[in-house]
Structure 1
């Protein structure tokens, strides 16, 4: 008979449905009405649910899970960051030069050459510099973002156009790197320094940005992602871009946007910034605030208890950490959850102790990245109920088991042995959301889940795992993209429970009982948001 006396709009059938709801038993079928799940059961149950108006999608041997949530990404600002040549696959400077020279051959003599995703390990023991761009790009202005999106190398022509001739003071720890003579090397560290050149680089038009965003989000949906936590909104036209997309149709995934609170904001600017909370559209909302206490270990801009092996990473990005604490405290008092980028051990310690000192009012705060974590700080996570947000592929793509990579060399063995302790955090009972930090790393959630399990890059069995004792189970990895992603922001969700939104994904390979490499290469057969197909609409068949 129909569910609750009413016919569902849609029935989903599969070999298995992993609802992640402990109160539901084995499930092979879901009924959906008005975008929400109204029944779950076996195939025999489903036979009685539908009627003439009910659409049935029979996915055969597929496995269905809740829709995946990428807990840390930059899809709007990333449109600018991920421009030009994708250099993430280049393993040495010769490959970088060849890729840039190929790009330069297709533009005018005065046109810009852009690239992104550059791994600093290609420079070996030498600090990244813009010299490789001068030779490869034939004297053209060039801007290449390093993989961490916290640094860039630029050509001499780009420096000249931006009138960058030496060091400058910034409101944070951003820096123009100079040589012994005081001349810029072409390496720019952190946002304020990079913006000097980014601001004069030709940008996409507004319409191009709208189309580009749709394409990126469609690509995410194609890997099973139905929602993302956006960790900035500093683009001047970000809201206009989102509204323009929704004037044409729905966003391909849901977006929870946490704009970034930066050092040096006046009280008036801060009040206007807080006033953004609650803005939104059909599939996007401004909720929460992002902060950033330090930079990155690869650049020497993280904040460590002791200097790295080059004598760097000794100070916070917020020049006055007390100002950071004041802003967090004020946001907490207003009931606004925060997410703070903290990579170095000192940065993580300051953030978690700041959060632990806040009055317990039920507001869920979160720490992003957590790359080298001491035991005493892990204990504060547990005691204070702070959530973690981590990116498995940052470990597996940019560090090596033998610790010969730039990140590990800068830290030394003791601190590198505390890398991305996802397993220890989960064992301790900490909520750990997982994500990609796109465009820092690829957004494919299947590969990220596999990397969390394997502690090496998916589909590369010849690569030795990095600290395999920090691996998590397949269920824990899936939870990082579902239930823990919701819990990390103080929300309930990430399950296919009765009354829950019908956000789900169907995989050709079961993520919970298959080889992780097989899952990473599996097809996504269907992605639904509110019961509406975003990916795989052609898979449906009418009853």
Structure 2
């Protein structure tokens, strides 16, 4: 192969894991104008080195296709993770002590926190009266770990004028106690519309601070090997924030944004979502629409075929599920791909009934076509028939391994498992079965619900337990997947899911989005992968992180 020019970037002395069946391994990669132009051995450097070529020597580190988080909320997390990190809190006493400390330290009379698991409260049911006295009158908003519920202090409910139940376009709910004087809010706000009653009163950060925090977060993601993320939320304000942030300089990674389509949308709203598909920056673009057919099992708002142990999780997040179906069909007719949050088996079944008649998507390596490629997100509990349907449908399954490994107990004592019961909990996070049924499975974090470190997530997919806890029993060990499947879920699968055959592989003509890590992710023990340093991250042929 003769070279008409020199390379912009040469990566040499590498253990290249290409994920290209035609050439699975190599030692060097040449990049020009953001595209891989050669893959091979030492001869690559001889062919492509020039006076201006940047040469990166990996010293035997593994070079893989760039890692892409298939489900993340980096922009939304600026609000969703506001305040104190409460992910380590495990008892009500710990929570009260932490809130009292935060209230003492507060300079504006506000306390905010995030990542709180419901198991902290008796019966897994958050209540303001269990923490009010610890706050000393401070206004307090605690966002739960599932990102679908929050606890507002009695003082905040009073300030927000929330003194009873509310009716929304969705089935969101202000949870109330029945008293002699009528319904009285407990402080627990289920789902997004209810949470917004308190959210809108929380302190907001200045625009410059939001841009700085977003850029820092994206930089942290790139430093841990991510070259991109599928962003599963958005509205006009968040798209504008992305544009302003990129005005300050290139983003450290690529973002594909799917703005929200929520209950209550009308034809004009759908038309706006279609129009937003034209919005794009240098490293971000709108590419799809995000919907939610249900909520969460922990909150009792999922849509199950049969009620949970508390008699909850029996219906859709949309008061009229057919309105969801009409929105999806309209988006599909406009060629817009959809991603639907579907956690319960009843919700998954309904969404499949809507999507299957639309037909299979155009293959990623075929000529461009109008047919949109649709996705299902989360899929926390699936009976056998749904696994089979998803596998043969061509609809992508998007899964988050650490939701299982870090939030569920193998002994079934956690809130999620208790609500489902042993049989349905035993059908949880069936990643291996979906792959076996022929489904395309994309892996991700759901940041800030779980951390975005792809190394730990790929390890958890193989172990079905936290990689940092050797003593933890695995949850559903029969659903553990191979190291190659885990890497594919972070590389080739996200590319194919969005119809981009030029990514997720290292071969001539592929986009030069690359990740280098200290061990080979396809052969190293999971614990070694989780501990290995990310030494290089390349986006569009340009290094955005390096330690070499």
TM-fit CA distance, 1:243: 1.6
The question of 1:356 aligning with 2:356 is answered yes
Distance 1:103 1:519 in 2: 36
d(CA) in 1 for partners of 2:420, 2:111: 33
- Give the SS at the match of 2:123: coil
- Cα distance, 1:244 vs. partner? 1.5
Give the match for residue 161 of structure 2: 163
Asked if residue 413 in structure 1 is aligned to residue 422 in structure 2, the reply is yes
Aligned twin of 1:29: 28
Equivalent in the alignment of 1:245: 245
What secondary structure, in the 3-state scheme, does the structure 1 residue paired with 2:474 have?
Answer: coil
Alpha-carbon distance in 2 for matches of 1:276, 1:15? 41
Residue among 490, 497, 505 paired with 2:507 = 497
Q: Is the 8 A contact 1:151 1:187 kept in 2?
A: yes
- Superposition deviation, residue 97 in structure 1: 2.0
Q: 1:166-220: per-residue Cα shift (whole Å, max 9, x none)?
A: 1111110100001122211110000000000100111111111111110111111
Query: Is the 1:401–1:464 contact (alpha carbons within 8 Å) kept by the matching residues of 2?
Result: yes
1:126 deviation in Å? 4.3
Between the two proteins, the alignment pairs up a number of residues equal to: 535
Q: Does the Cα contact within 8 Å between 2:118 and 2:124 map onto a contact in 1? A: no
Shift of 1:93: 1.7
3-state secondary structure, aligned to 1:72 = strand
Which consecutive residues of structure 2, in runs of 5 or more, have no partner in the other structure?
363-371
CA distance in 2, matches of 1:393, 1:349: 24
Kindly indicate whether the alpha-carbon contact (under 8 Å) linking 2:29 and 2:44 is maintained by their aligned counterparts in 1: no
Q: TM-score, normalised by structure 2?
A: 0.95
On the 8 A contact 1:393/1:441 being kept in 2, the answer is yes
2:356 counterpart of 1:346: no
**Counterpart check, 1:376 vs 2:377:** no
The answer to whether the Cα contact below 8 Å between 2:391 and 2:435 also exists between their aligned partners in 1 is: no
- Give the match for residue 297 of structure 1: 297
The 1:430–1:359 alpha-carbon spacing in structure 2 relative to 1, beyond 3 Å, is closer
Mapping of residues 22-421 of structure 1, within 5 Å: 22-108=21-107, 111-181=109-179, 182-234=183-235, 236-360=236-360, 362=362, 363-421=372-430
Asked if structure 1 preserves the Cα contact closer than 8 Å seen for 2:30 and 2:44, the reply is no
> Offset at 1:135?
2.6
In 1, the alpha carbon distance for the partners of 2:300 and 2:148 equals 11
Contact 2:65 2:506 in 1 (8 A): yes
Aligned to 2:516: 506
Q: Secondary structure at the match of 1:276?
A: helix
Q: Output the TM-score relative to the length of structure 1.
A: 0.96
The 2-side partners of 1:111 and 1:31 are apart by 56
Would you say the 8 A contact 2:375–2:396 is kept in 1?
A: yes
- Distance in 1, matches of 2:494 and 2:361, equals 20
Between the aligned partners of 2:153 and 2:142, the Cα distance in structure 1 is 9
1:436–1:448 CA contact under 8 A, matched in 2 = yes
Q: Partners of 1:242 and 1:179 in 2: how far apart?
A: 41
Look up the SS of the partner of 2:142 in the other structure.
strand
In structure 1, runs of 5+ residues without a counterpart are: none
Q: In terms of mean alpha carbon deviation, does 188-197 or 200-209 score higher?
A: 200-209
Question: What is the CA–CA distance in structure 2 between the aligned matches of 1:153 and 1:510, rounded to whole Å?
Answer: 43
**Are 1:356 and 1:380, in contact at CA under 8 Å, matched by a contact in 2?**
no
